[in-house]
Amino acid sequence: MADILLLVTSENTSSERRISPHWTLAHLKSRLEPITGIPSSSQRLSLYIAHSETPILLTPPDGRTDNDYSVGEFGDSLVPFARVQVDDSRPFSAQENYTDVTRVAKFELSQEEYAKRDDTVLAWKKRNQLGRFAETASERDNLLNKAQVETRTIHVGKRCRVVEPSERRGIVKFVGRVPELPRAGTEENDAVWVGVDFDEPVGKNDGTVQGVKYFEARKNHGSFFRPEKVEVGDFPEIDDLSDEDDEEV
């Protein structure tokens, strides 16, 4: 007789298995033990045929045992795609509970130990500067502004000009952070600003922002700019009034 494809089910498992009619019941149960987790001696097998709600108990007749009674001796009841239900005959308290995860020892790792490992998602994010380790746009801009201050040699006391929307000249009076003037559209307050004391009253303030004095200037002679707006050099005073720069503060 050829092997028969059966559906094997238990409380926690379900799978298709090929079973040889030549196997003894004892051998069948030994094959089902690693599948269901139920010991051979505690297995109770029931065979369900399609459209039949009444199971056929797979037990040897009187005078026979699991060791000398073959599966094929159940005859016509053993048909392809029938279902073999494997139940556990042990008391409930003695049965293994494979769904209770509270009984499983958990692997735990402290935050400090996790942070030291180099094979974790955290380490991968650090290496690739992702998530909270990513360099923000404001940080990149601030680094760029600081670099511009250095490369453009913007220093306090130097003559300078601002050319947008038209040329205005003055003296650099301040270079640094102005927390009262966050970058437009952001909440960052550590950007670099350049304070200019204009030759003419074409500024926005007197070097004071929200009550904090950053440099001395006459009324409407002071303004703060981003470094890219300021050019230092040999720019003597001119008598040329111009419109206010929309980007100055």
Average pLDDT over residues 173-181: 89
Residue written as tokens 């089902």? 32
Q: For residue 212, what are the β-bridge partners?
A: 209
Cis status, amide bond into 179, omega within 30 of 0? no
Model confidence over 49-72: pLDDT tens digits?
Answer: 877 778 999 999 999 999 999 999
Domain with CATH 3.10.20.90 in the chain: 4-94
Q: In sequence order, which residues have a C-beta less than 8 Å from that of residue 151 and are 6 or more positions away?
A: none
Q: What is the DSSP string of 186-200?
A: S-----EEEEEEESS
Q: Which has more confidence, 165 or 88?
A: 88
Continuous segment of H or E residues that includes residue 14: strand 14-19
224 and 190 Cβ atoms separated by less than 8 Å: no
Cα distances (angstroms) measured from residue 16 to each of 3, 7, 11, 82, 84: 13, 4, 15, 10, 10
Q: DSSP secondary structure string, 41-74?
A: GGEEEEEE-TT--S-EE--PPTT--TTT-BGGGG
For residue 194, the cross-strand partners are 175, 225
User: For residue 133, which phi and psi values (nearest 5 degrees)?
Assistant: -95, -5
| Residue 201 to residue 222: CA distance in whole angstroms | 8
Half-sphere exposure of 233 (CA within 13 A, CB side): 8
For residue 195, pLDDT over 90 is answered with yes
Strand 83-88 vs strand 4-9: parallel, antiparallel, or unpaired? parallel
pLDDT at residue 190 above 70? no
Look up residue 51 and give its two tokens: 């459209």
Angle at the Cα of 104 (from 102 to 108), degrees rounded to 5?
Answer: 95
* Start-end of CATH 2.30.30.190 domains in the chain: 145-232
Instruction: Provide the pLDDT for residue 1.
Output: 65
pLDDT score, position 244:
47
In CATH, the number for domain 4-94 is: 3.10.20.90
Domain at 145-232: CATH code: 2.30.30.190
Tens of pLDDT, residues 103-150: 777 888 888 898 889 898 888 888 887 777 765 555 555 665 666 777
Rg (CA), the chain: 42
